[in-house]
A and B are shown apart, each in its own frame.
Chain A
């Protein structure tokens, strides 16, 4: 699926919407988490955000940074004035400090946590926000599961994923065992430019080629 088709799909499904930021974002002192939810909608481009998650996230961010309510109020005023219609345009129009506040809001909506989760230590500063509702799963939900219950049944993974036009492959490529294609009997030599990328001597293939005397022949 190409990007344009994908965006049409996301718009048609109502996942992504354009939320007008018409004066309503200002933070009312009595119910700041309501404003927080509306600002979250404006910054993520989604109307269907779970208010319970919004409330928990607002409380978390306020606990982590006592200045957060003030920053939020400031961000709300800026967004009110900007008149931009999309999250990306709104973000682009902000000052650095307001961008930081905006990213502090957007990031946990997408990732489902605040802080930095550790992978090999028992303790970290990460806090749970959401799982199945984490927005990062939405753009791929038609292809891959949110890891725990896929509800797709066994062996769904063999098919060409929707929207992918598979390059030509041997007819027996699905098979394991005797029927599966055999590899060539000899391993190909490595090309110096690709080797340079692997060894960290160049960041990209193009950069590696520039380092070569003769189109990847020698480095």
Chain B
């Protein structure tokens, strides 16, 4: 009988990997979970944040090590593309992954988001429907503690509650900030529906977490642990016996007979390599790093689609001063959203749009310019208060389509501190995304008019939202997709991918909840098979 080091080895300890690990451990499976970075407790991140000069740098309070560099390491991501857009993304390499510094929006996709090709004639369809994933959406919402209302039309099309739910959200909505009340009061009559944004900053004590107290510090770290982050499931998984191995950088998946994956090789900071065998492997190493590992290992790529179809919610952002005090910064960093453009017929021609309302304490945004103007004393203080009370930022979450030429590959020449390839990204904006600009400008003009706004930063440049999808794309055809409907590699029956990279459509919402739902479903598949 073959000896295995574990039933399952999971590569990556982010929210997706850790949720899969927890379910497998609960079912009695032995699990080893590899993590490139270290484990850092919440209190230490808070301490680092409070002592950092770069408080708007959401990677800064987290470790950034030569063998586990994050997205902001000099030269780690070599991004190539358009002259008018520089690809930037933001991820961490620590136990718990990049949800350590997210803001925790927990949207479900809409039924139409699963069948973009069938309904609108563009992009791709998923091999599963919304209804297939619904039970796992609900489970994911319970795992992370999602706050929401089941009474609103999240598609923004003026119908009753949508999408359909088999049960209410686990937690009721938080209070609506005054700023959001003003947005709704002024933009509603212009046709823009402001609704609640579901999220994982619990509104009541939940699962050992305190209720959100509006510290306005979701990014880069919730100081009180009211907001969900992946380390919570890392801790739960470890408590059930999962063997978490930090500072262990997976660099090769080893193929064996019958196209099965027989082992993973990982490297320690001192250069030592370790080989682990298992019955099954789950790659959950982040939407850019997972395809890199597959390509470095020359596995799972008979379709030639690994690393391709990279998507984000690349869009536009406008900052203005309203003619009345709105006082962003009371509550969490985001509440509410404008969803009217989320599922319109124009999706056949250009990106759908969802508008995000920024709710940061803005003092560090408004003060530098006032100092540069030479204001001082009472004039300066009064100007800070005035600007801080009136500044507002609204940005688009715009749908991008999967394009094979938008891709990530292991860098041909650059190496990180472990001697492993860094990332080379090519990302260009096509006519589908660029085509939404007139509609966005139309809407931005209405937003500006509603508040008789004074422009601070016009929506003229493109920016990413750091939501990575498509790079290990799911489909029903092994010739043009990487995994099947169960997140299983078409090429290797015991290799699974837990990543938002499997998503064939990007829609207009933060993809993490969908990723967790898929990871829970994947874990169920493995539990049945092992």
Whether A157 touches B177, Cβ cut-off 8 Å, given contacts A117-B53, A121-B72, A131-B51, is: yes
- Secondary structure of the A contact surface, majority rule: loop
Query: Cα distance A106–B375 when bound, in Å?
Result: 10
| Contact partners of A52 in chain B: CB under 8 A | none
Query: Cα distance A177–B198 when bound, in Å?
Result: 12
- Secondary structure of the B contact surface, majority rule: loop
Report the interface size for chain B: residues with CB under 8 A from the other chain. Answer: 100
Query: Cα distance A122–B465 when bound, in Å?
Result: 18
| Contact partners of B59 in chain A: CB under 8 A | 122
User: Contact: A182 with B158, CB < 8 Å?
Assistant: yes
Give, as a whole number of angstroms, the nearest-CB distance from B202 to chain A: 10
Binds A, one of B33-41, B299-307, B324-332: B324-332
User: Contact: B90 with A127, CB < 8 Å?
Assistant: no
User: Contact: B327 with A147, CB < 8 Å?
Assistant: no
Give, as a whole number of angstroms, the nearest-CB distance from B267 to chain A: 21
Give, as a whole number of angstroms, the nearest-CB distance from A152 to chain B: 6
User: Contact: A176 with B361, CB < 8 Å?
Assistant: no
* Most central of B189, B372, B381, B448 by chain A CB within 10 Å: B381
Query: Cα distance A153–B380 when bound, in Å?
Result: 30
Find B448's partner among A16, A118, A187, A194 (CB 8 Å cutoff): A194
Give, as a whole number of angstroms, the nearest-CB distance from A82 to chain B: 13
Report the interface size for chain A: residues with CB under 8 A from the other chain. Answer: 95
| Contact partners of B442 in chain A: CB under 8 A | 189-190, 195
User: Contact: B448 with A198, CB < 8 Å?
Assistant: yes
| Contact partners of B449 in chain A: CB under 8 A | 190-191, 194
Q: Tell me how many residue pairs across A and B have CB atoms closer than 8 Å.
A: 296
| Contact partners of A68 in chain B: CB under 8 A | none
Q: In the complex, which residue of chain A has the Cβ closest to the Cβ of B341? A: A187
User: Contact: B215 with A174, CB < 8 Å?
Assistant: no
Find A88's partner among B46, B72, B375, B458 (CB 8 Å cutoff): B375
B431 at the interface (CB under 8 A from A): no
| Contact partners of B459 in chain A: CB under 8 A | 198
Find B388's partner among A119, A129, A139 (CB 8 Å cutoff): A139
Binds B, one of A24-32, A72-80, A199-207: A199-207
Excluding A87-B380, A161-B327, 12 further A-B contacts by CB distance (< 8 Å) are A44-B377, A88-B379, A99-B374, A117-B57, A120-B88, A122-B73, A147-B360, A148-B215, A159-B178, A167-B182, A183-B191, A185-B158
Binding site for B on A (CB under 8 A): 3, 6-7, 10, 16, 43-45, 86-88, 90-91, 99, 102-103, 106-107, 110-115, 117-124, 126-129, 131-132, 136-140, 143-161, 163-164, 166-167, 169-170, 173-178, 180-191, 194-195, 197-200, 203-205
Binding site for A on B (CB under 8 A): 46, 49-60, 64, 70, 72-74, 88, 90, 149-152, 158, 173-178, 181-182, 184-185, 187-196, 203, 211-217, 223-224, 318, 324-325, 327, 329-331, 335, 340, 360-361, 363-364, 367-368, 371-372, 374-382, 384-386, 388-389, 441-446, 448-449, 452, 454-455, 458-460
